[in-house]
Amino acid sequence: MPSSIHNLQDSIIVIGFGNIHYSDSSIGIRVADEVASWHLSEVLALTVRHLTPDLSEILAKVEVAIFVDASRAHQLHGIKIIPIMPLSSNCPESTAKGWMKTSEPYSLIALTQAAFGRYPQTYWIKVPADDFFLGNHISPIAEQGIEAALMSIKSIIQCQKLVKEAC
């Protein structure tokens, strides 16, 4: 964890997940790496290949969590930002019934709530992608999605700053 974040309760975490060896599957990792390069004291950027239960400990300590992942382009028209709450109407039924498939943010947030009694304000940014084959290039639709995701993350960070200033 970077030493620049002293109070996690006032911080934002960006978790980019995917596989750097499979072209567009690396979108989440590329976005999180770019966010890390901003060197914002209140933002922690992590890259992981898969979401795992151990992430719930840090999620319980932060104010805002942003997950970034690639999604098949035919499923999306531009990026999709999904607000996530455990046991809510936007949570798949299997998660709401307690089945913990932590490979999706819904389940990880539900686990965080169950284990720690709290969860951060959470967003899942799905970025459209075309190419999931072995390689390190990014498709044009993924490049556009990465830029849109970064702009959205900047907006979320700015909104969070405004909320803190207003309190």
What are the pLDDT digits (tens) for 51-85?
999 999 999 999 999 999 999 876 667 899 999 98
Q: Is 49 left (phi over 0), alpha (psi -120 to 50) or beta?
A: alpha
Q: Is residue 110 part of a domain?
A: yes
Strand 43-48 versus strand 12-17 pairing type: parallel
Q: Which domain holds residue 15?
A: 8-166
Q: Is residue 144 part of a domain?
A: yes
pTM of the model: 0.86
Q: Residue 27: which CATH number?
A: 3.40.50.1450
Q: Is residue 73 part of a domain?
A: yes
**What's the rounded Cα separation, in Å, for the pair 41 and 98?**
35
Confidence tier at 102 by pLDDT (50, 70, 90): low
Distances (CA, A) of 65 to 23, 62, 82, 134, 163: 25, 7, 12, 29, 16
**What's the rounded Cα separation, in Å, for the pair 91 and 83?**
10
The number of domains in the chain is 1
Q: Is residue 1 part of a domain?
A: no
pLDDT in tens, 138-152: 999 999 999 999 999
The residues that bridge with 68 in the sheet, in sequence order, are: 16, 125
Q: Is residue 85 part of a domain?
A: yes
**What's the rounded Cα separation, in Å, for the pair 75 and 124?**
15
Q: Is residue 133 part of a domain?
A: yes
Q: Is residue 119 part of a domain?
A: yes
Average pLDDT estimate for 80-98:
64
Q: Is residue 149 part of a domain?
A: yes
